[in-house]
Structure 1
Amino acid sequence: MAELRTAQARASRTPVVQYAPIACALSMLGDVDRTRMRKKFDVCYLMAKEGIAFEKFVPLCELESCHGVELGHAYRTAPSASLFTHYIAQSHRQQFLKSLCENNFYSFLMDGSTDAGNVEQELVVILTCMKDDAAEEMKSCTRFLSLESPKKANASGLVKCLSQSLAPLGITDILDENMLSAEGKPVLVGGGTDGASVNVAEHNGMKGMMLSSHPWLVWSWCYAHHLELASKNALTSDLFISIDEMLLRLFYLYEKSPKKTRELEEVVKDLQEVYEFPKGGNKPVRCQGSRWINHKRKALQRVVDRYGAYIGHLITLSEDHSVKADERARIKGYLKTWTKYSTIVGCALYVDILKSPSLLSMSLQTSELDIVLGIKNTLKSTTALKTLAKKDPFEWPTVKLLLQKIEDEGGKKSYQGAELRNFSDAVQVKLKQDALKDVTRLDEKMRERLMWSDIKLLRAIVVFLETQSWTKQIRVASTVTNSDGEDANLSDDDDNDKSLCDVKESVDYLASHFRLPLDAKGVLIATLQDEIEDAVEYARNYLDIGRSEYRKVWYKLHTCPDQHKWPNLLKLCALVFSLPFSNGRVEQIFSSLKVVKTSRRTNLENDTLNDLLEIYIEGPPLGCFCPDVAIELWWSDCCTTRRVNQQPRKAYRPRNPGSSDADNEEEEECTTIQQWDDWFGEESETDED
């Protein structure tokens, strides 16, 4: 019987420590060996967090040994480092997948790009609701799931990549309608991509394929991308086009010229004491080819801060005969445009115009962004733009500071020592008109871009989650005469409570839209109206909803003693917190991919790359890392016993390939001089013949 059990276990490649009781007792990892393995796993974790190649594991272990750290002799090779990294990533991934299965709903975020090895990659990120006990908040949490290489970059290929990434959850086909009723698996409620036709097309795109099997799915075209497109469509004046071209020319003028960069540094040092340039770099900042508005604003701010240094250096280059004639002529042409009064003032104007969209763009790239937070930040940005439109453009902060620094000597304007041409009242009026038009147009384009989404659904989500709107509105009580002829005050009841009515209508709309996934998770939709009334009443009586943030209020509703009164409402809350609004987090992870997979690591396999990204992106700081779970996985996941005490092998005697030991002995008896003489002796005999 024991032999049969052993044969079956070996046939199924079950680790020996799982089927042999004696092996289980003898194969326990000792304290000394476990301490050594912890140190090795720590080294591997540091390498993955810092993007260090596996080949560096050997010298790092040698360095630790030189410092007196006892590591043992086994598992100190580059393949061992790759294996340790895999189990570290697996331990983190298993913990996340377990928590994801405990959640009822999730969304995915996807985007594609090409890595350093010229391989097309699709990045999949999971968005779900998370209860943050440390901050006492309910949050939308985005987390890296996997990186997949599609065979075809069409809609079916992208859907297949999504299914492959969800395979660890037991979801082999995301389009399978039976997955909705599967037990122990979360339900997909949303998807977020960019605006490529392969993603958002209703018929032949990924969106159309997904909606055919998931009609409740909320498909989000990343609003961060909408914001970039809105700014591109709004800022179309001749002034901005001219400034944008100046930023491009100025960047490439210094990008590949160390000599010009060094000369610019010297000019800045000479002028530093006079004009007090702000701290920071001196080279022009690249803004073309970048999606984010804040890059454009940084480039404009750099020009405003160091305008005098740039113009002074360009004037020197235009008069330097060591520079080629065609380049000198090109620089002189640049100076005719860049020394205009409208150019530098226009740069300052657009620094102020792009301030609020830039802050909005940065907020849309956070990992804890939900729909309510995204809408609130968008409204703040549009409010700031409307405030700018009501002011005189020359009173805007950056412009006002610039105008104070412009000097007037004999009717000539100069800024940081550079003379400004073409100054007139008409130019100032034109600058103000163009700036106000661009501000108004940017506000309109941002609103138009938001209209691409389901506005009614967005409003219902905001009304439902934003608990500050639950505050009961105070109205003047109606005065009537009762049967005794006395005046009686009729107070407002729940039917007259407009805020509660709005919340109940929003709950009805959300329950109707997500009926299928809510039913699949056992939500009793008929009780949602009563539960929202109880929750609102509790929040009004015991929670400071007027001043508390909505995420903290929902956390208290999840953890309060009366939470059992609204279990179905809490599931609806988890669903809404799992809906996407922006894809900015995916773009940030692609930036991490450039660090992990460099031009010197283009042969990384996809599984290894996923392990490295898992640690680099989602791993805790080195001081908070505990390798015990990963060590247990590594120790148990093997069909043979791990040899942690294996001693280093002796060096083998070098052998010539294809020769026997006898031949090697004969060759060793011959000295180098004898071989030399024999070799040239053979050549002499050949010549005589």
Structure 2
Amino acid sequence: MTKRTIDSFFRPAALAASVPVPQSTESGDDDAEHCVAKKARTHHFREDWLREFSWLKYCKENNSMNCECCSRYPKTVGNTKFADSDGTSQFKHDTLVKHNLSLKHKVCRDMLINEKATPLQVAFRRQEAVNHSADEAEMMLKFNTAYFVAKEELPFTKFKSQLDLQRKNGLKLNDTYNNDTACAQFVGVIADTLKGKTCTKIKDAPYISIMIDGDTDVSTKECEIIYARILNEGKPRNILIGHIEVKHAHAQGVYDATKEAFKQLGTETGWLQKTVAMGADGAAVKGAFIVPFHCMPHRLELAMLSVQRNISMVDHVYHLLNMVWKTYHFSCKSMRELRALGEEVGVRVNVPVSGTRWLPHVNRALQTLLKPGGKDGHLQNPGQFTAVFYHMEHLTASSTNADIAGRSRKVKKMMEDGSFVGFCHFLADLFEVISKFSLLLQRNDVILPQENVLQAVNGIENLIATIEAMSVRCKPGGRLAELLADLQAQRRKQEGEPHPLYKYQGITIKGEAAGLGKEGLSMASTPKLQQAVRATIDCTVLHLKQRFSSLLHEESTSATAKAVKSFKIFSHDSWPEQRDQLTDYGAEELDFLLDHFSSVLTRNGCDSNLAREEYQSMKTFIFRNYMDKSYHALWEMMVTKLPFCSDYKNILHLVHIMLVLPVSSAVCERGFSAQKRNKSDVRGSLHVDTVEDLIRISMEGPSLQEFDAKEAVQTWFSSGKRSRRPNYKGWPSEPPSGTQEDLL
């Protein structure tokens, strides 16, 4: 009698009869022995599995099974025997259940179902894809429009009118997402895509510098703007990190705002461990190796502000410019009278120059006041100076307002003083030299040592030398030299006359005018002017040296100041011309830099001993081949091109740190300028995050022609809590005309 199993009790009778049951090879007497050593169980394929798993296929010849779906797409499912043509002989029910629940099997199953779908199902899917493609194309048009609104710094309310203009030009656009709220959402998504790219750059950068500045916006919110300076393809680049409202403006509040800005950018940037320098308007920094950088253009401003406070004649010039601006800025009547006087003397009156206290703006105002009229630029041609003088004379005689009359009388008296006119021309020469250097330092690509006369360090030395030379002789081709030459020509024409008259732009000047007309300036002929010029030059040189002492040759006990000066060893223009002297050049400074930045260098895999060896070979290589290259081009090539970036990879860590040092934080001022343009009096309710998005697009976004909205549109479609419906058409707010009458 055959031995029955438990499984046979639960199977149908026919199926149980058709499936043979193997004969037992054991006798009942061996039960005790069977408990000790049991043979391995043999598994067999069961026919009912084919009904339970529709995808299962069984091959009797090979006695194996496989999956119909997975064998159709072996590359998708990966490494599994269910996808092999030979199949598997592991006849276990649990194995089939696990495979049926696997994710890759479900993917292959859906692919097979789609392949075998009926034409109607395929048509529905194809139409769905077409609809989605049309929706995406329409949303790209709207995203492009929203980007234009943000890039051009227009209000969000202009979004609808821009879409209406496109419809009028024949473009078919749906009415959905057609308001300022949708525009603000689109701008936020676009800014997030730009922010994601910024996060990637910060993650990939081994060294960064941070630049911070604060400002109060039109809604009386105190905000901090944070920029990071990184090396991008061998070139230094400033990128916006965030625009954050601070709870308190003290050191801890600024630090917390900086951490919050990087947190919003991305949690895994590791920014604090990568920071090697920080640029601000004089803020102190506590860090083992972090180099604090006081913004160099700001140092120039503070130096000249000290000169203004200490030299009365300089303060008088500032006061004159301010009074002229105040007279015509707040009075349309005065401006109208000035233009009328300008027409009489043949002068086209310019609007009074406005701006900040920064030197380039002050220089522009002074140059505008002194510029003569006419195409030839002769000093006797009537200009702005002439028109202002005659109008001040008119106001002095006719104004009934005591303040205006007194101010006009004071301005007129200063403008006809020969020594004051001469000092204005000297100051115009001085401001022009300093303004050019200030504008150079405000460039985003300026680095610590740069080529030739444009070096950030050598430029200060050249600036001081140029200013000191002005005490000996006038600037060649400058304003003061032209004035003296013209007055000397007038003196020669009037030689022999008892009372010669000296004029400037048609106005008779008094005081030391006769002394200005003599050959060569001297203390005897023009004591007032000479004393003011020498005092101004001495004071300017003194304060420039004080403000830039850490970058000049003055001894400093500060480790950070020494680190900044030590980077000069990478300026190949200052290397010794003799090869035997080049061998030992920079060894001491290199040791100091490797020790100062040891922690951050070690973290990034820099070997100090190899760096010393590579510096010697790199000096020799550059000395032989690339001494004629500019500073930017040389280090861009060394950092990015093979085999240089590989052969000198350890010493180039210090070059990388040097290139990201924040010489100027003027980019923060540009960010606040964008803030003021976007968050004006009529847009004072803009949230701080929205202002950051607008600054990011305005300052760092690509041009409208280069902008691709595809990534932002795809992000917008996938980020919604519900499915997006760009072509949704709601019920009409009002019934069509005639509907009510038809119902009645």
Letter in 2 for 1:541: R
Equivalent of 2:398 in 320, 326, 336 = 320
1:106-160 per-residue CA deviation (whole Å, 9 max, x = no partner) reads 11111111111111111111111222xxxxxx33211222111111111111110
Conserved? CA contact 1:300–1:351, under 8 Å: yes
| Partner deviation per Cα, 1:403-427 (whole Å, 9 max, x = no partner) | 3445567512221222212235356
Matching residue within 248, 258, 278 for 2:332: 258
Q: Secondary structure at the match of 1:568?
A: coil
1:435 counterpart = 2:513:
no
Structure 2 residue identity aligned to 1:370: I
CA distance in 2, matches of 1:51, 1:33: 27
The residue that corresponds to 2:573 in the other structure is 468
What amino acid sits opposite 1:643 in the alignment? R
Once the two structures are TM-superposed, the CA of residue 329 in structure 1 deviates from its matched residue by 4.2
Q: Is the 8 A contact 2:414 2:420 kept in 1?
A: yes
Q: How far apart, CA to CA, are the structure 2 residues paired with 1:442 and 1:473?
A: 34
Aligned AA (2:437):
L
Aligned twin of 1:144: 240
Q: Which residue of 2 aligns with 1:420?
A: 509
Summarize deviations over 1:285-335 as a string: whole Å, max 9, x none: 346xx34111121122122122111101111222226x4355334422432
Distance in 1, Cα, partners of 2:404 & 2:181: 53
Residues 383-394 of structure 1 mapped to structure 2, 5 A cutoff: 383-392=465-474
Residue 580 (1) aligns with residue 686 (2): no
RMSD: 2.8
Cα 1:329–1:553, aligned 2, differ >3 Å: closer, same or farther?
A: closer
1:77 to 1:649, Cα distance in 2 relative to 1, 3 A: farther
Of 342, 346, 353, the match for 1:285: 353
Contact 2:195 2:265 in 1 (8 A): no
Asked if the contact 1:100–1:186 (Cα under 8 Å) also holds between the matched residues in 2, the reply is: no
Question: What's the counterpart of residue 91 of structure 1?
Answer: 193
Q: Tell me how far apart the structure 2 counterparts of residues 264 and 369 of structure 1 sit (CA, whole Å).
A: 42
Tell me which residue corresponds to 1:397: 478
Unaligned runs of 5+ in 2: 1-109, 115-123, 372-383, 451-455, 516-523, 552-559
Instruction: Name the residue aligned to 1:270.
Output: 344
Q: Write the deviation string for residues 361-409 of structure 1: whole angstroms up to 9, x where unpaired.
A: 111211122222422432332232233334247x661112233445567
Residue aligning to 1:682: none
Report what 1:156 is aligned to.
252
CA drift of 1:517 comes to 0.7
Residue 701 of structure 2 corresponds to residue 619 of structure 1: yes
- Cα distance per residue 1:5-42 (max 9 Å; x no partner): xxxxxxxxxxxxxxx99999967874333322221111
Q: What residue is the counterpart of 2:169 in the other structure?
A: 67
Shift of 1:85: 0.4
Give 1:551 deviation, angstroms. Answer: 1.7
* 1:228-271, Cα deviation, whole Å (9 max, x unpaired): 11112234323222222211211111111111112212222332
Quote the residue 1:123 is aligned against. Answer: 225
Q: Partners of 1:170 and 1:34 in 2: how far apart?
A: 28
Give the conservation status (yes or no) of the 8 Å contact 2:241–2:265: no
Say if 2:589 is the partner of 1:506.
yes
Higher mean displacement: 403-412 or 71-80: 403-412
User: Which amino acid in the other structure matches residue 336 of structure 1?
Assistant: K
Residue 554 of structure 1 pairs with residue 635 of structure 2: yes
Is 1:46 the counterpart of 2:133? The answer is no
What is the identity, as a one-letter code, of the residue corresponding to 1:190? A
Looking at structure 2, the residues matched to 126 and 548 of structure 1 have their Cα atoms a distance apart, in angstroms, of 28
User: What are the superposed Cα offsets for residues 600-651 of structure 1, whole Å, 9 maximum, x if unpaired?
Assistant: 1111112111111110111122122111121121122223221122125411
Q: Which residue of 2 aligns with 1:334?
A: 411
2:438 is the counterpart of 1:381: no
The amino acid across from 2:654 in the alignment is: L
Q: 1:88 to 1:587 in 2, by over 3 A?
A: same
SS of the residue aligned with 1:191?
strand
Q: Note closer, same or farther for the CA distance 1:307–1:61 as it changes in structure 2 (3 Å cut).
A: same
1:540 is matched with 623
TM-score (norm 2): 0.72
What's 1:244 paired with? 318
* Aligned position for 2:281: 194
- Provide the residue aligned with 1:683 in structure 2: none
Q: Which whole-Å CA distance do the structure 1 matches of 2:582 and 2:510 have between them?
A: 59
C-alpha offsets along residues 28-70 of structure 1, whole Å, 9 cap, x if unaligned? 8743333222211111111101111112211211111011122
Deviation track 1:439-488 (CA, whole Å, cap 9, x = no partner) reads 23312321211125644222211222x13334x623xxxxxxxxxxxxxx
**Kept in 2: contact 1:104–1:185 (CA 8 A):** no
SS of match in other structure, 1:151: coil
Q: Say which one has the larger Rg.
A: 2
The aligned counterpart of 1:478 is: none
Partner-residue secondary structure (3-state), 1:371? coil
In structure 1, C-alpha distance between the alignment counterparts of 2:393 and 2:265, rounded to whole Å:
64
In structure 2, give the amino acid aligned to 1:473: E
Cα distance, 1:358 vs structure 2: 0.7
* Native 8 Å contact 1:507 1:528 kept in 2: no
2:441 is the counterpart of 1:360: no
- TM-score, normalised to structure 1, is 0.78
Match of 1:606 in 2: 688
1:513 Cα offset (Å): 0.6
Map of 1:294 onto structure 2: 360
